[in-house]
Structure 1
Amino acid sequence: MVPAMTVIDAEGAVHPRPQLTRGRHALLDGACGFAFDADDAGIRERWMDDAERFDRTIRLPFSPESAASGIADTGFHPIVWYRIEVTREQLVAAGWPTQGERLFVNFGAVDRIADVWFDGQRVCHHEGGHTAFAFDVTDVIDPDAAIHVLVVRAQDDPFDLEAARGKQDWQESPHSIWYHRSTGIVRSVWLEAVPALHAVAVHWSARPQQHTVGLDLELSRRAAPGTTVSATVSLGGVVLGGAIAEATGDHVLLELSLPALRNGQALEDFVWSPETPVLIDAEIVVEEGGHGDASGSPATGVDRIGSYFGIRSVAVDGRRLLLNDRPFTVRAVLEQGYWPDSHFTAPSEQALREEVELIKRLGFNSVRIHQKIEDPRFLYWCDRLGLCVWSEAPAAYEYTPRAVERFTAEWTRSVRAAASHPSVMVWVPVNESWGLQQISHDPRQRAFSRALADLTRALDDSRPVVSNDGWEHTDSDLATVHDYESSADVLRERYRDHDAVDTLLSGIGPAGRRMGTGLVGKPAILSEFGGIRYDVTGADGTWGYSTVTTATEFDHCLRAVFDAVTGASGLDGFCYTQLTDTEQETNGLCDPARTPKIPEAHIRAMVLGHPLPA
């Protein structure tokens, strides 16, 4: 049995793809050659074959705009190049060469368009700056070479408003609520050897009411006759269930019965929640049969992978949001996922765990990832430590048919990639009409918003969808409101009961925008509020929705708005803006170094609606 804990290696590093792990992989993060291509001359002059063109060194996986990369150049650089040397030792660490196996290069994300060469041969073109991709280099590698060369050309036009960019600024310097850009490689790069027939994606769907879990396993190609897929799941070394089936195509559906769940008195021992984040271990084995496929590719044996999932359900019942069939009050904080020295890439894997631990210590049970598709390793720590996630797409800023095409493709990949994480509780494809600024007047934009909500449900029907968070809803399962009112008395009156909330949802919202349709009678979440500016550095040009100047005043104002919101019977939850100060936004509960501005115990008491500690 391969337990879920094997996603962490002997050095404590989390696998970059934690729900589909194999015995070995080799990270290529670290120092490599780097070059700016201001004149877009690299392809014409064949930089992929010229090591001297790479006149700088960058540290992966950090963007060149960040100090952590060693470059720290925040100017406009739409095209950048990387030259990564791969050693024999790294190939061996990845499990290659092994007879009959294939060598793959994996990228966690490259912002935004990547063209890749391996040993001088072009092997990949990928578009989409927020999703992972992989490609096979087996047929172009020279097995006798001491050093192999991986070259990446990344293109990210800072003025392209049709591409999903989230909080990345289109101006040279950050302004208002936007931050420095992150160009090129922004997540880990790694090597992995796999059988010719292997799993490329794992999708779990737990159904606790039916005492089952479904497995949808995507394969690299159509399986040969006689190929079998088996799955065994366990908790604490005790087998809970298993299934085996013959693979007749390029994906396999398995239904695993979990008899232990039939004992209703013991069910709580198996379900995932923030209080009890139980993870079920899984081992999946793909065993190829016959003599290969119709193209003549040989049968290569066994692909053995480790995975995990959580057993839990999310539903909406009238005005209540339910987790595991019980009312769940959302206590969330807005998270930008941005660090001063490393920007949209965490400075270390440990920082991802510490971020989750900090959020939980402050009393929150949920986090709203804002305008960003987060690293799967962050989701792993949310899964393992127990933190619910609202997954929100990074927006484009212009509505065009090409923007629709790009966004739909990347959101589809993002939902598929994250849907098996038990911590992910709510999908948010659009925020505050970003990229759909004329949604109230343009029927095409309204149609796209509705289509995105239904597309999300078609990909995953196990979670609520918010069609447009904050206002101008078109087809949402939750009624979410953004309200930065600083007066606690106004907040208390505005959300005092269901009648008051229904009145608000039926008309113009606090931001002066129409609230949208179909919201009355649904769970109401104040999904952005607060935003109190308290700049502990005293710097000029910082920003927030309201301002205080001392820690005492911050403590007092924070307590007032939290008291108003946690005591409002018309709400089913809230999300405070925001966790940390970020660039010129100084409205965080913590400073950029993640140090709380007032005692943790005070913030926790406010979030939980408890009296302040003595």
Structure 2
Amino acid sequence: MNIKNYLLFLSVLLFNCLLVKKSEAQQAKLPTQWTKVAMESTVPFQEYPRPQLERKEWLCLNGKWDYMGGKQVTSALNPIKPISFKDKTEKILVPYCPESVLSGIERNQETNMWYRRTFEIPLAWKGKQIIINFDAVDHDATLFVNGEKAGSHAGGYSSFQINITRFLQAGTNTIIVAAYDPNEGKTPSGKNGPRGDYTFTSGIWQSVWLEPVNEHYIRNIRLLPDIANNQLEVFVEARPAQIKATAFDGKKVVSEISGSTGMKLYIPIKDPKLWSPDNPFLYDLTITLTDNKGNITDEVRSYFGMRDIKLGSVNGIIRPLLNNRFVMQVGLLDQGYWPDGILTAPTEEALLYDMEFTKKAGFNLIRKHMKTEPKRFYYWADKLGLLVWQDMPAIWYQHEDTAKTRSVFRKELNAMIDDLYNSPSIITWVPFNENWGAFDVKEITDWVKKIDPSRLVNGNSGFNNNPDFQKAAGDPGNGDFVDTHIYVGPNGASKPDGKRAASLGEFGGVGLFVQGHMWPVENNAYAYEPTKDRLTDRYVFLMDQVEQLMKYQGLSIAIYTQTTDVEHEVNGILTYDRAVEKMDIERVKAVNKAVIKAGNELNQQMPPDRK
């Protein structure tokens, strides 16, 4: 073979290898019923991403972007200029992370990620300010518009917005996003970190979109229900201007109030319909911003739920009270992982599926474990009537470079609370889990309570457990819960201590192998049952024990592990691909409802003046 033919042979061989590799990357290890739809989607997640601050006009930027990534690519950490996309450019499907099969990349720990796409501003937006919104980019993001640096953000679990108006030009515009994520455990990363259990998630992993606004616009709103005074507290963040807030029950105007930005306003809600898992009623809300001539410069649509959460005494036992009544919280540990999208659900339908299943199975609580979700997750929790405990994703090396790592944790914890503050379904913040990355737990528990006194705080859920590589922080002694994790449990759960309610933050974890529906690794659980019937029997027995602990030991919360199998874990009620219900759901629902009903009956035993 001559040299020319030999080189031709090598080039053909290399091309075929690349095709095979690309083809293999597109084959999901464990597909879900939504995998194909997601892969073929031109624009994934076309629903407006932010339901509590919604505008009529917007442009979704999800879809195929040009992509370059890897440890050898130019550093994406706070670059001063964008890279060239001339060579070795791939396509990535945003908002799926490059580690996922849905993204079209499926490579682990890229570290440096560069994204590029073009767009044109609609003619109707002429003269408007243009805001680009990112729901989440892990971890450090830098935005370039038409070659110029437009802004940056640090934090993998909170949204951010950048005004890009001055960088735009007529016709086609190009944006480049540099995302840097070393996954070294010194920023919040939860199960997605170097000491976590599962596949990493990096880069853009939630929606990206544009929206036009006037020079004076509503940057943010803060909503706080006050059922004691039959009113909603509203705070609008914007330049000094007049605002009008109108609350609706369906199409009927309930109340409206006018005032100024930058100050708290109070909308009267006469005889409010209270939000609860049994009756998740939501009021609609419209907020308009006007200039000194009375012209409307911005209008957003929102919603709110009238509910209250606090601790109180029920027959001498400290318990959490929802709208002044004890509701036994029967929940699922929900890690929100997907075999095709990793931290990103493949579709809106898939995101909703887990939540509707949770409700169908008789649970009234989700503990969102070690991650946040897109805001539409919380919208559906609000809509369906699912209480939410929201964890803060852990850091892993809190004792290294403490001035930096601990400050980053505090900053991103504060950002998470601000980001999700308006959702009525969220009733508890969980700063730390099982001592992972824990530091200054007592101080941070009090700090979170100060940031948001309207909710409960569980400072160190499962303080009785601890990784072997660090010293346990233990029970902070403050906050609203005494919280232990007992596997399999539930016996041994904590008891109320006179000032805090008793919570079983995790228990259960009983596994069942389902052939053909497991992640292709060695799978495990805390205990096992051989059949669906036996697993259901075991669950019913555990919940019967939970009821006894609630009635006679003061337990107020029980959170079963877990909603779905996750990679190497087979202790879900659903398989990881959501294809198989591993228990008899009617029996699960019946025992859950029985435990909640028994909790409701405790309210009836209270003296008349306490009800």
- Identify whether the pair has TM-score above 0.5, normalized to the shorter chain: yes
Residues 381-439 of structure 1, C-alpha deviation per residue, up to 9 Å, x if partnerless? 00011100001100001122212110111111111121211100111111111102xxx
Residues 240-281 of structure 1, C-alpha deviation per residue, up to 9 Å, x if partnerless? 11111134xxx23211122x22xxxxx4xx110111111111
Corresponding residue number in structure 1 for 2:27: none
Greater CA drift, 448-457 or 389-398: 448-457
Residues 444-466 of structure 1, C-alpha deviation per residue, up to 9 Å, x if partnerless? x3xx2122222222221111111
Corresponding residue number in structure 1 for 2:49: 16
Residues 78-105 of structure 1, C-alpha deviation per residue, up to 9 Å, x if partnerless? 11110112134xx45xx522x3x20011
1:529 aligns with 2:507: yes
Corresponding residue number in structure 2 for 1:336: 335
Q: 1:138 to 1:522 in 2, by over 3 A?
A: same
1:273 aligns with 2:276: yes
* Contact 1:60 1:186 (C-alpha < 8 Å) held by counterparts: yes
1:149 aligns with 2:174: yes
Q: For 1:199, what is the secondary structure of its paired residue?
A: coil
Q: 1:83 to 1:27 in 2, by over 3 A?
A: same
1:403 aligns with 2:384: no
Corresponding residue number in structure 2 for 1:508: none
**Residues in 2 aligned to 1:117 and 1:470: alpha-carbon distance in whole angstroms:** 43
| Structure 1 portions without partners, runs of 5+ | 1-10, 172-176, 262-266, 291-298, 437-444, 496-500, 506-518
1:238 aligns with 2:252: yes
Aligned residues: 527
Corresponding residue number in structure 1 for 2:545: 564
Q: 1:142 to 1:531 in 2, by over 3 A?
A: same
**Residues in 1 aligned to 2:208 and 2:392: alpha-carbon distance in whole angstroms:** 23
1:80 to 110, 113, 120: 113
- Written as runs of structure 1 = structure 2, the 5 A alignment for 1:297-376 is 302-318=297-313, 319-376=318-375
Corresponding residue number in structure 2 for 1:552: 533
**Residues in 2 aligned to 1:610 and 1:281: alpha-carbon distance in whole angstroms:** 33
* Contact 2:81 2:149 (C-alpha < 8 Å) held by counterparts: no
**Residues in 1 aligned to 2:595 and 2:441: alpha-carbon distance in whole angstroms:** 39
The residue identity in structure 1 corresponding to 2:94 is L
The residue identity in structure 2 corresponding to 1:455 is W
1:607 to 583, 592, 604: 592
The residue identity in structure 2 corresponding to 1:281 is D
Q: CA deviation at 1:236?
A: 1.5
- Written as runs of structure 1 = structure 2, the 5 A alignment for 1:31-50 is 31-41=64-74, 48=82, 50=84
Q: CA deviation at 1:357?
A: 0.7
1:573 aligns with 2:557: yes
Q: For 1:593, what is the secondary structure of its paired residue?
A: coil
Q: CA deviation at 1:50?
A: 2.6
* Contact 1:195 1:301 (C-alpha < 8 Å) held by counterparts: no
**Residues in 1 aligned to 2:81 and 2:340: alpha-carbon distance in whole angstroms:** 29
Corresponding residue number in structure 1 for 2:386: 387
The residue identity in structure 1 corresponding to 2:56 is G
Residues 155-207 of structure 1, C-alpha deviation per residue, up to 9 Å, x if partnerless? 0002x221100011427xxxxx6110111000000000011111111111111
Corresponding residue number in structure 1 for 2:15: none
Q: 1:235 to 1:142 in 2, by over 3 A?
A: same
Corresponding residue number in structure 1 for 2:140: 113
The residue identity in structure 1 corresponding to 2:586 is A
Give the TM-score of the pair, scaled to structure 1. Answer: 0.82
1:59 aligns with 2:93: yes
* Contact 1:47 1:53 (C-alpha < 8 Å) held by counterparts: no
- Written as runs of structure 1 = structure 2, the 5 A alignment for 1:122-141 is 122-141=149-168
**Residues in 2 aligned to 1:381 and 1:46: alpha-carbon distance in whole angstroms:** 40
**Residues in 2 aligned to 1:42 and 1:521: alpha-carbon distance in whole angstroms:** 51
**Residues in 2 aligned to 1:540 and 1:236: alpha-carbon distance in whole angstroms:** 50
Q: For 2:460, what is the secondary structure of its paired residue?
A: coil
1:207 aligns with 2:185: no
Corresponding residue number in structure 2 for 1:582: 566
Q: 1:199 to 1:53 in 2, by over 3 A?
A: farther
**Residues in 2 aligned to 1:530 and 1:132: alpha-carbon distance in whole angstroms:** 34
* Contact 2:434 2:461 (C-alpha < 8 Å) held by counterparts: yes
**Residues in 2 aligned to 1:236 and 1:325: alpha-carbon distance in whole angstroms:** 26
The residue identity in structure 2 corresponding to 1:311 is M
The residue identity in structure 2 corresponding to 1:111 is D
Corresponding residue number in structure 2 for 1:442: none
* Contact 2:488 2:509 (C-alpha < 8 Å) held by counterparts: no
Q: For 1:311, what is the secondary structure of its paired residue?
A: coil
**Residues in 2 aligned to 1:257 and 1:565: alpha-carbon distance in whole angstroms:** 40
- Written as runs of structure 1 = structure 2, the 5 A alignment for 1:176-215 is 178-215=197-234
Q: For 2:543, what is the secondary structure of its paired residue?
A: helix
The residue identity in structure 1 corresponding to 2:352 is R
The residue identity in structure 1 corresponding to 2:82 is M
1:454 aligns with 2:457: no
Q: CA deviation at 1:37?
A: 4.1
Q: For 1:382, what is the secondary structure of its paired residue?
A: helix
Q: 1:42 to 1:53 in 2, by over 3 A?
A: farther
Q: For 2:350, what is the secondary structure of its paired residue?
A: helix
* Contact 1:196 1:300 (C-alpha < 8 Å) held by counterparts: no
Q: 1:361 to 1:142 in 2, by over 3 A?
A: same
Q: CA deviation at 1:551?
A: 2.2
**Residues in 1 aligned to 2:210 and 2:86: alpha-carbon distance in whole angstroms:** 25
Q: CA deviation at 1:521?
A: 5.0
Corresponding residue number in structure 2 for 1:416: 418
Q: 1:189 to 1:12 in 2, by over 3 A?
A: closer
Greater CA drift, 548-557 or 335-344: 548-557
The residue identity in structure 1 corresponding to 2:566 is T
Q: 1:567 to 1:376 in 2, by over 3 A?
A: same
**Residues in 1 aligned to 2:344 and 2:428: alpha-carbon distance in whole angstroms:** 23
**Residues in 1 aligned to 2:302 and 2:88: alpha-carbon distance in whole angstroms:** 39
Q: For 1:372, what is the secondary structure of its paired residue?
A: coil
Q: For 2:265, what is the secondary structure of its paired residue?
A: strand
Give the TM-score of the pair, scaled to structure 2. Answer: 0.82
* Contact 2:247 2:286 (C-alpha < 8 Å) held by counterparts: yes
The residue identity in structure 2 corresponding to 1:48 is P
* Contact 2:351 2:377 (C-alpha < 8 Å) held by counterparts: yes
- Written as runs of structure 1 = structure 2, the 5 A alignment for 1:284-299 is 284-289=287-292
How many percent of aligned residue pairs carry the same amino acid? 29
**Residues in 1 aligned to 2:211 and 2:426: alpha-carbon distance in whole angstroms:** 27
Residues 25-68 of structure 1, C-alpha deviation per residue, up to 9 Å, x if partnerless? 11100111001142352679998363324610000100000011
**Residues in 1 aligned to 2:432 and 2:144: alpha-carbon distance in whole angstroms:** 35
RMSD: 2.3
